[in-house]
Amino acid sequence: MSINGTMLIGQQAVSGQQAEIHAVNPSTGERLEPTYMGGGKAEVEQACALAEAAFDTYRETSLEERATFLETIAAEIEAIGDDLIERAMAETGLPRARLEGERGRTCGQLRLFANVVRAGEWLDLRIDPALPERAPMPRADLRQRHIALGPVAVFGASNFPLAFSVAGGDTASALAAGCPVVVKGHSAHPGTSELVGRAVQAAVSQCGLPEGTFSLLFGSGREIGQALVADPRIQAVGFTGSRSGGTALVATAQARPQPIPVYAEMSSINPVFLLPEALAARADTIAEGFAASLNMGAGQFCTNPGLVIARQGPELDAFVAAAGEAVQGSAAQTMLTPGIHDAYAQGVGRLAGHAKVKEVARGQVGETAHPCQAGLFVTQAEAFLNDPALQEEVFGSTALVIACQDAQEMQRVAAELEGQLTITLQMDDGDLDAARQLLPTLERKAGRILANGWPTGVEVCHAMVHGGPYPATSDSRTTSVGSAAIFRFLRPVCYQALPAGLLPEALQDANPLGVSRLVDGQREG
Contacting a second copy (CB under 8 A), which of 81, 108, 440, 512?
Answer: 440
Site for a second copy in 473-492 (CB under 8 A): 474-479, 483-484, 490-492
> Is residue 521 close enough to count as binding a second copy by CB under 8 A?
yes
Q: Which is nearer to a second copy, 367 or 459 (CB)?
A: 459
Total of chain residues touching a second copy, rule CB under 8 A: 80
Scanning 187-195, 373-381, 392-400, 470-478 for contacts with a second copy by CB under 8 A, the matching segment is: 470-478
Q: Residues 254-283: x/- map of binding to a second copy (CB under 8 A)?
A: x---xx-x----------------------
Q: Output the smallest distance, CB 445 to a second copy, in A.
A: 10
Tell me whether strands 236-240 and 262-265 are parallel, antiparallel or unpaired: parallel
Q: Is 461 a catalytic residue?
A: no
| Cβ(360)–Cβ(323) below 8 Å | yes
Q: How many CB atoms lie within 10 A of CB 325?
A: 17
Residue 178 vs residues 90, 147, 150, 172, 325: alpha-carbon distances, Å: 34, 8, 8, 10, 51
> Is residue 408 close enough to count as binding a second copy by CB under 8 A?
no
Q: Residues 323-362: x/- map of binding to a second copy (CB under 8 A)?
A: ----------------------------------------
Q: Which is nearer to a second copy, 342 or 459 (CB)?
A: 459
Q: Which is nearer to a second copy, 120 or 156 (CB)?
A: 120
| CA dist., res. 85 & res. 58, Å (int) | 31
| CA dist., res. 203 & res. 180, Å (int) | 13
Q: Which is nearer to a second copy, 276 or 324 (CB)?
A: 276
Contacting a second copy (CB under 8 A), which of 87, 103, 143, 370?
Answer: 143
* Catalytic one of 48, 107, 179, 302: 302
Q: Residues 363-392: x/- map of binding to a second copy (CB under 8 A)?
A: ------------------------------
| CA dist., res. 398 & res. 400, Å (int) | 7
Any idea what DSSP says for residue 473? B
Torsion of the alpha carbons at 36, 90, 335 and 193, rounded to the nearest 10: 50
> Is residue 108 close enough to count as binding a second copy by CB under 8 A?
no
Return the closest-CA partner of residue 169 out of 424, 463, 488: 488
Q: Is 302 a catalytic residue?
A: yes
Return the closest-CA partner of residue 489 out of 169, 252, 191: 169
| CA dist., res. 72 & res. 113, Å (int) | 12
Scanning 194-202, 325-333, 346-354, 431-439 for contacts with a second copy by CB under 8 A, the matching segment is: 431-439
Any idea what DSSP says for residue 68? H
Site for a second copy in 201-220 (CB under 8 A): none
| CA dist., res. 348 & res. 335, Å (int) | 14
Contacting a second copy (CB under 8 A), which of 54, 250, 269, 348?
Answer: 250
Q: Would you call 245 helix, strand, or coil by DSSP?
A: helix
Residue 378 vs residues 232, 306, 358: alpha-carbon distances, Å: 48, 11, 5
Question: Which helix (H) or strand (E) is 86 found in, with range?
Answer: helix 82-92
* Catalytic one of 76, 265, 315, 418: 265
Q: Residues 49-88: x/- map of binding to a second copy (CB under 8 A)?
A: -------x---x----------------------------
Longest dimension (CA), the chain: 81
Contacting a second copy (CB under 8 A), which of 62, 462, 508, 509?
Answer: 462
> Is residue 470 close enough to count as binding a second copy by CB under 8 A?
yes
Kindly list the catalytic residues: 265, 302
